[in-house]
Amino acid sequence: MTIADLVPATAALRARPLGATGLRVSEIGFGTWGLGGDSYGQVDDAQSRRVLEAAFERGVTFYDTSDLYGAGHAESVLGEALRPVRDHIVIATKGGLLPHTGFAMPQDFSPRHLRAALMRSLDRLRTEHVDLYQLHSPELHLLRQDPEILGTLRAFREEGLIRHWGLSARSPADAAAAIAAFDFSVIQVNFNLIDHRAIESGLLAAAADKGIGVIARTPLCFGYLSGKLTGEERFENGPDHRANWPQDQLRRWAEAPGLFDGMIRRRGCTPAQFALLFCLAQPAVSTVIPGLMTTAEVEEDAAASALPPLSDEELAEISAIYDSRQFYDPVAKSRGKA
């Protein structure tokens, strides 16, 4: 039996519209950054394929990747694992951000580079088109100065290489500015229990008003909202982007789940599930994309979709906790590895 044989029996997760694109996606999606092998330590590709198959079997229909993740390796693993069910899933990938370490983010959004990058992505993903192609963390002044960038995306759509285009923004502020100035149909942005900038900037309200789909990335804050990390870890077993951050910032993130412990216990869910429920409490959010590395994580995170939504009272309590602490040191990046 192959994964394709399981399509009729696939468990259904709650689905939401991806903005006004006409696509519907599982509200729990799959972020593949970790599958590249250069962001959360070394990976076993056979295990990655099993995790992707388990996610599909559990009802996950939205998969987010990039040509940057493992220099395209995550795309290759995704394409190989889910090719038999390609017509039953929504694939989003990204281009324009170049390989790097640390916090510097070199980029190339020239039409020539984007076209070559997209063609390589299609080859690795084993598909003739991607459902969503996102510019990967561009500096917004480039989009203002060079209309050819968005013109290239329109050309891709006319050629049938992509169905929709979007923006994976550097920050919620950039995302808010971008949807005010450009015709993106989908925006991807950081959003979680301890990062409310997408609310504070007015981004989520504006996206809802304009019918723009929102993909919430880092819903577990690099794993720290799972409650399984202490902040004392030393990330030395293969490349792990968390090694770039100063230790006191990692401790701040690791301490955060404990602040919500009473609420989590009252609900009888796990810290990760509670964090996902917070993201899903925002109607503008189309899907959240936790990084799923094991089948156990697939089961835990997918189960959040069946839980009752957070109440207004719970959301108010979360806001009060958020307002009482500073979860991010604004100079952390300058004190981390360059």
Asked if 216 and 191 touch (Cβ cutoff 8 Å), the reply is yes
pLDDT tens-digit profile of 90-145? 999 999 989 887 788 899 999 999 999 999 999 999 999 999 999 999 999 999 99
Q: Is 83 helix (H, G, I), strand (E, B) or coil?
A: helix
- Mean pLDDT, 10 residues at a time, over the chain (338 residues)? 67 93 98 95 96 98 97 98 97 92 88 97 98 96 93 98 98 96 96 98 97 98 96 83 94 97 97 98 98 98 98 98 96 84
Asked if 16 and 25 touch (Cβ cutoff 8 Å), the reply is yes
pLDDT for position 201: 95
| Torsion sign across C-alpha atoms 29, 33, 35, 39 | negative
Q: Where are the alpha helices (DSSP H) in 159-270?
A: 172-181, 197-200, 203-210, 247-259, 261-267
Report the half-sphere exposure of 128 (CA within 13 A, side-chain side). 3
pLDDT for position 9: 58
**42 exposure class (CB count in 10 Å sphere: 0-12, 13-18, 19+):** exposed
Structural domain range at position 43:
3-335
The closest of 106, 77, 112 to 93, measured between CA atoms, is 77
Which CATH number is 15's domain given? 3.20.20.100
pLDDT for position 4: 67
Phi-psi region of 21 (alpha: psi -120 to 50; beta: other; left: phi over 0): alpha
pLDDT tens-digit profile of 283-301? 999 999 999 999 999 999 9
The closest of 219, 224, 203, 214 to 277, measured between CA atoms, is 219
pLDDT for position 37: 93
Structure-token pair, residue 318: 């979360």
Q: What is the pTM of this model?
A: 0.96
Q: Total domain count for the chain?
A: 1
